[in-house]
A and B are shown apart, each in its own frame.
Chain A
Amino acid sequence: VALRGCGGAWRQGWQQSAGRARPGPSPGPGPGPGVSPRGQRTAACSARGGAVPAGKSGLAPWVPVVGLEIHAQISSNSKLFSGSQVQFAAPPNSLVSFFDASLPGTLPVLNRRCVEAAVMTGLALNCSINKKSLFDRKHYFYADLPAGYQITQQRVPIAVNGSLSYSLYKDNKMSQMVTKTVRIKQIQLEQDSGKSLHDDTRSQTLVDLNRAGVGLMEVVMEHDMCCGEEAAAAARELQLILQTLGSSQAVMAEGQLRVDANVSVHHPGEPYGVRTEVKNINSIRFLAKAVDYEIQRQIEELEDGGTILNETRAFDSKLGCTVPMRDKEGKQDYRFMPEPNLPPLILYDAKSLPANMNHQQVINIDWIHERLPDLPSVKREKLVEQYGILPEHSFTLLNEEGLAEFFENVVKQTRMKPKKVIGWVLQDLLSYLKQRSLTVKESPVSYFLLADLLNLLEKEEISSTAAKHVLAELWKGEGKTPLEIVKEQKLQLLEDQKELEQICQAVIDRHENE
């Protein structure tokens, strides 16, 4: 759908809506409006979880409070209420059903897979799953919201009252980790919106409805965090869980995971301060930065005698600061209303499952529970227990997709102790990959090549220095095995007494004159 504008005034109208705070799912990655950067101080908060010391005024310390609203796109073949495919970066408007374009007379039909994904996620986050949840319409006018309302779960969401445990390094030291818990208020199913692309040169706005109607899970985390590091660690843990479950691919760069942060500060013992919502955060690293910046900004503002507005701000990743989003309509009234075209969503457990029901027509919570894969926390524990590695190593292993499997495969194929293998995997392999921005999958050294190499080392056929040299050769990806490289370059350790003596003699001979 192309909206063609004619004059400058039109363009202005559209541009304004571009940078405007909009309701509903956040628009995902995109450039924020530019403003001059603010002098940024290093964020004072850390995983200590305590209050931030007062600034120049020297009064009582500040307590920052951070909550998160996270939209995770459900990984499913088709959309939440229509049969159109879900796919990233498909040609514009190629994945749009009549329903997605809100053609009059079309009706929503709930996608079973999306419900299952939400139930899985709810269970993984220790939520109670509501056996009866409801859908509502949330109204607002926006070019990429064709129906003029979003179908969401405002009154009774599918999952409530959960918790998420996450860990982070204490005081930024790599050696000590602390585990914290954030309460999950609720998980609700809702539709994603389309995308608006603002073409300034041609004064037009283009609307792509491919994303319109894709299923989202909105995970609401309570205000239990106190700094950017905590928010980032919690969001990262959620991301890992979603990826483990497969309920969302949760790739932030593709907009499958969108994080909005609510931030406020107050003095201990006083009521919470006015909060701001920070949007447009498109990586975990930026989340930490955005939150810390916002905390600092609010403290400075308050200490300068200013006030905090209840506003929506965007994070500008280039400038590293948050800026107000233009919100010209002020407070929106979404005029919520029950969605009349969808009956209540009823879920069953083993006890309530009606005997004569067709399995295709019901969702059994217990059945899904039994089939949940190991969550990251459990995997980490198992890794620590089974291989005797340090807890922080288990975090690193899970943080990189495929790294834990890589490690386990290497361990399986070598006699080297896992404790030693982990060093090779984390220090040598991982740092090499990171330097070159490669994923584990893209690694030129496969797990069996590394295992071969470590076996040579373990059998004392080569020295550890030689092993590093071989690994450097392996990175070239020339298809040679470690053994071949060792032979070609004569790197094996010598065990023959005579041969050693000969070599030594030769060296001495050469240096006789010195």
Chain B
Amino acid sequence: QVSAALKEGHVTPTELCQRCLSLIKSTKFLNAYITVAEETALKQAEASEERYKRGQPLGVLDGIPIAVKDNFNTAGIETTCASNMLRGYISPYNATVVQKLLDQGAVLLGKTNLDEFAMGSGSTDGVFGPVRNPWSYSRQYKEKSVPKSHSEDKEPDWVITGGSSGGSAAAVSSFTCFAALGSDTGGSTRNPAAHCGVVGLKPTYGLISRHGLIPLVNSMDVPGILTRCVDDAAVMLGSLAGHDPKDSTTIQDNFKPFELPDLTDVSKLSIGVPKEYHAPGLSSEVLALWSKAADLFQNAGAKVVEVSLPHTRYSIVCYHVLCTAEVASNMARFDGLEYGHRSDMNESTESMYAATRREGFNDVVRGRILSGNYFLLKENYEKYFIKAQKVRRLIANDFVKVFRSGVDVLLTPTTLSDAAPYTEFIKEDNRTRSTQDDILTQAANMAGLPAINVPTALSERGLPVGLQFIGRSFQEQQLLTVAKWFEKQVQFPVIQLEEVKRHDSGVFQHQKSASFS
């Protein structure tokens, strides 16, 4: 819609950019952005405006304001990973995905908040503070969650966004941008998407370049896409996917962008419902929505079958070993020499290293480095790392078997429940939280499969709940087509951002429902 409006001149890229910037300011309390690149964004918008004037826009994305998670390198704009280690670090190069977006005329508004080095599931453990879920300030949440007995002015607790791409999810959810990049290693795109009521796509491993994404777990990381609707996700995917000579793990073939058909007939589809996703701690609300969704498909004529992924329950413990091992390795480069924080401690090289890393990393990162190094010790390698790799293969094989049996797409919940209030969430440590929260999303990373969160309905508390579709490797088109059909059926409500409305009523009205595709 916005793209069409740009083309027709109803709105100019500069106006659009300014509106977004102004919204970012009025929603500053969400803490969604770490860096707002106002100046460069306006310059990019002007350049885009020129192209529209000449009638030569670069494509659908030209002039579209986007945000990027702060673990993607952006030339000239700070890249911090929400860590003291990289505070103030300005990368000399753009990540491939960032470059691709800029090449297609997108306007980069800024860098979004996250858990330090993407390690977390709440977006609460970054050095710049937690991200607040925009739905905390929605009319829907307030109406349902303000205890009637309490006085009128008592604000309900604000809820977390989920993570680790919480800043990106909040940015899209609060309309400050039209699409955002996240990253997804164990669910870091889909989890916050579910909690913030937006679409979150984790493509197949190898479909999108990781060059320039500061790694968490190289063998599972995938750049994620957060948008307001499935169609937008397809457009973003089309502009990002394909071989990158700078990332040897990307597919060799070029990727053909696609438009999603409006599916009318789902009778040929086979939807698998894996029983193992009926996990301990799954809220009755989410369970009910999940069943309802399955019924929806069945009633529309699709074949809905219960399937089994027996090894999924080992996924989290297996992930813990593989993730920490790679983290220990990937974090070794942060020694204070070439870039990033360097401690003043200089009694010896070793003491400088130690102090730099102690000062630069938070407890979560240091904890993972320690356990990772433990798992990689010669005496432990077979027992933990090799075993975890074998289990990973079993998990992936489970999916292969299910898809070979004729299932097209799997339908599962994305999260166990709706978003927790911050005060509740921080009662448990990061590790416990990640273990619980990644449980439904994580296996797709183990197997490298594409998966998407589609916002489905509001919970009793007035917070978003999403469901997840998992597709076959490189079958994004099929996955997104199904997701789009589902999206259309459920008609997820638009967020009523009272707070923002009060702050900035004019801008908000214009923005709220537009998608760019």
Residues of A that sit less than 8 Å from B by CB:
1, 3, 5-7, 9-10, 12-14, 16-17, 98, 101-110, 137, 139, 141, 143, 146-149, 205, 207, 333, 335-337, 340-343, 361
Determine if A337 and B246 form an interchain contact, defined as CB atoms under 8 angstroms apart: no
Determine if A337 and B325 form an interchain contact, defined as CB atoms under 8 angstroms apart: yes
Show 8 A/B contacts (Cβ-Cβ < 8 Å), sorted by A: A98-B92, A102-B338, A104-B73, A105-B211, A146-B337, A335-B373, A341-B248, A343-B248
With contact pairs A5-B346, A340-B218 given, residues A103 and B91 touching in the complex (Cβ less than 8 Å): yes
**What distance in Å separates the Cβ of A11 from its nearest Cβ neighbour in chain B?**
9
Q: List, in ascending order, chain A residues with CB within 8 A of B333's CB.
A: 102, 104, 146-148
Q: List, in ascending order, chain A residues with CB within 8 A of B249's CB.
A: 340-343
Determine if A107 and B332 form an interchain contact, defined as CB atoms under 8 angstroms apart: no
With contact pairs A101-B338, A103-B338 given, residues A337 and B329 touching in the complex (Cβ less than 8 Å): yes
Determine if A104 and B325 form an interchain contact, defined as CB atoms under 8 angstroms apart: no
Q: List, in ascending order, chain A residues with CB within 8 A of B248's CB.
A: 107-110, 341-343
**What distance in Å separates the Cβ of B96 from its nearest Cβ neighbour in chain A?**
10
Interface size of B as a range: 35 or more
From B140-148, B196-204, B349-357, B485-493, give the one contacting chain A: B349-357
Q: List, in ascending order, chain A residues with CB within 8 A of B328's CB.
A: 335
CA distance A212 to B473 in the complex (A): 37
From B33-41, B103-111, B376-384, B394-402, give the one contacting chain A: B376-384
Determine if A106 and B211 form an interchain contact, defined as CB atoms under 8 angstroms apart: yes
Among B28-76, those with CB < 8 Å from A are: 72-73
CA distance A336 to B378 in the complex (A): 8
Determine if B338 and A1 form an interchain contact, defined as CB atoms under 8 angstroms apart: yes
With contact pairs A13-B351, A14-B349, A149-B329 given, residues A337 and B385 touching in the complex (Cβ less than 8 Å): yes
Which single residue of chain B is at the shortest CB-CB distance from A13?
Answer: B348
Q: List, in ascending order, chain B residues with CB within 8 A of A143's CB.
A: 337, 349
Q: List, in ascending order, chain A residues with CB within 8 A of B252's CB.
A: 361
Determine if A105 and B213 form an interchain contact, defined as CB atoms under 8 angstroms apart: yes
Identify 14 new A-B residue pairs, CB closer than 8 A, beyond the known A13-B349, A104-B79.
Answer: A1-B337, A6-B346, A13-B347, A98-B92, A104-B91, A104-B333, A105-B91, A146-B337, A148-B331, A149-B332, A207-B337, A333-B378, A335-B376, A342-B248
| B245: contacting residue among A6, A9, A109, A137, CB under 8 A | A109
CA distance A16 to B218 in the complex (A): 35
Determine if A337 and B86 form an interchain contact, defined as CB atoms under 8 angstroms apart: no
B420 at the interface (CB under 8 A from A): no
B258 at the interface (CB under 8 A from A): no
Q: List, in ascending order, chain B residues with CB within 8 A of A207's CB.
A: 337
CA distance A207 to B337 in the complex (A): 9
**What distance in Å separates the Cβ of B78 from its nearest Cβ neighbour in chain A?**
13
Determine if A107 and B247 form an interchain contact, defined as CB atoms under 8 angstroms apart: yes
Determine if B337 and A3 form an interchain contact, defined as CB atoms under 8 angstroms apart: yes
B326 at the interface (CB under 8 A from A): yes
Q: List, in ascending order, chain A residues with CB within 8 A of B381's CB.
A: 336
Q: List, in ascending order, chain A residues with CB within 8 A of B247's CB.
A: 107, 341
CA distance A110 to B247 in the complex (A): 10
Q: List, in ascending order, chain A residues with CB within 8 A of B81's CB.
A: 104
CA distance A98 to B436 in the complex (A): 37
Q: List, in ascending order, chain A residues with CB within 8 A of B334's CB.
A: 104
In the A-B complex, the 4 residue pairs with the smallest Cβ-Cβ separation, listed nearest first, are A13-B348, A148-B332, A335-B376, A340-B218
Q: Which of B72, B86, B338 has the most CB of A within 10 A?
A: B338
**What distance in Å separates the Cβ of A197 from its nearest Cβ neighbour in chain B?**
14
B219 at the interface (CB under 8 A from A): yes
With contact pairs A98-B93, A146-B338 given, residues A107 and B210 touching in the complex (Cβ less than 8 Å): yes
Among B349-393, those with CB < 8 Å from A are: 349-351, 353, 373, 376-378, 381, 385
Q: Which of A5, A141, A335, A342 has the most CB of B within 10 A?
A: A335
Among B182-206, those with CB < 8 Å from A are: none
Determine if A105 and B215 form an interchain contact, defined as CB atoms under 8 angstroms apart: yes
| A105: contacting residue among B214, B331, B349, B376, CB under 8 A | B214
CA distance A341 to B385 in the complex (A): 17
Q: List, in ascending order, chain B residues with CB within 8 A of A108's CB.
A: 248
**What distance in Å separates the Cβ of A149 from its nearest Cβ neighbour in chain B?**
6
Q: List, in ascending order, chain B residues with CB within 8 A of A109's CB.
A: 245-246, 248
CA distance A382 to B353 in the complex (A): 58
**What distance in Å separates the Cβ of B143 from its nearest Cβ neighbour in chain A?**
44
Q: List, in ascending order, chain B residues with CB within 8 A of A141's CB.
A: 332, 335, 350, 353
| B86: contacting residue among A3, A104, A149, CB under 8 A | A104
**What distance in Å separates the Cβ of B495 from its nearest Cβ neighbour in chain A?**
33
Q: List, in ascending order, chain A residues with CB within 8 A of B245's CB.
A: 109
Determine if B348 and A12 form an interchain contact, defined as CB atoms under 8 angstroms apart: yes
Chain B, residues 302-335, CB within 8 Å of chain A (1/0): the string is 0000000000000000000000011011011111
B162 at the interface (CB under 8 A from A): no
Q: List, in ascending order, chain B residues with CB within 8 A of A333's CB.
A: 377-378
CA distance A414 to B93 in the complex (A): 63
Which single residue of chain A is at the shortest CB-CB distance from B344?
Answer: A6
Which single residue of chain A is at the shortest CB-CB distance from B342?
Answer: A3
Which single residue of chain B is at the shortest CB-CB distance from A108?
Answer: B248
Determine if B329 and A105 form an interchain contact, defined as CB atoms under 8 angstroms apart: no
**What distance in Å separates the Cβ of A229 from its nearest Cβ neighbour in chain B?**
37
CA distance A103 to B377 in the complex (A): 26
Which single residue of chain A is at the shortest CB-CB distance from B209?
Answer: A107
CA distance A146 to B245 in the complex (A): 23
With contact pairs A109-B245, A149-B329 given, residues A10 and B348 touching in the complex (Cβ less than 8 Å): yes
Determine if A336 and B376 form an interchain contact, defined as CB atoms under 8 angstroms apart: yes
Q: List, in ascending order, chain B residues with CB within 8 A of A146's CB.
A: 333, 337-338
**What distance in Å separates the Cβ of B383 from its nearest Cβ neighbour in chain A?**
14
CA distance A110 to B245 in the complex (A): 10
Q: List, in ascending order, chain A residues with CB within 8 A of B217's CB.
A: 340
**What distance in Å separates the Cβ of B395 from its nearest Cβ neighbour in chain A?**
17
**What distance in Å separates the Cβ of A142 from its nearest Cβ neighbour in chain B?**
8
**What distance in Å separates the Cβ of B27 from its nearest Cβ neighbour in chain A?**
28
Which single residue of chain A is at the shortest CB-CB distance from B211?
Answer: A107
CA distance A137 to B333 in the complex (A): 12
With contact pairs A101-B338, A102-B338, A147-B332 given, residues A9 and B215 touching in the complex (Cβ less than 8 Å): no
CA distance A139 to B373 in the complex (A): 10
CA distance A341 to B339 in the complex (A): 22
Q: List, in ascending order, chain B residues with CB within 8 A of A10's CB.
A: 346-348
B212 at the interface (CB under 8 A from A): yes
Q: List, in ascending order, chain A residues with CB within 8 A of B86's CB.
A: 104
Determine if B332 and A139 form an interchain contact, defined as CB atoms under 8 angstroms apart: yes
Q: List, in ascending order, chain B residues with CB within 8 A of A205's CB.
A: 349
B95 at the interface (CB under 8 A from A): yes
Which single residue of chain B is at the shortest CB-CB distance from A14?
Answer: B349
CA distance A13 to B213 in the complex (A): 35
Determine if A341 and B218 form an interchain contact, defined as CB atoms under 8 angstroms apart: yes
Q: List, in ascending order, chain B residues with CB within 8 A of A6's CB.
A: 346
**What distance in Å separates the Cβ of B384 from its nearest Cβ neighbour in chain A?**
11
With contact pairs A9-B347, A143-B349 given, residues A107 and B246 touching in the complex (Cβ less than 8 Å): yes
With contact pairs A10-B348, A103-B338, A109-B245 given, residues A340 and B326 touching in the complex (Cβ less than 8 Å): yes
Q: List, in ascending order, chain A residues with CB within 8 A of B325's CB.
A: 337
Q: List, in ascending order, chain B residues with CB within 8 A of A342's CB.
A: 248-249
| B95: contacting residue among A3, A105, A149, A337, CB under 8 A | A105
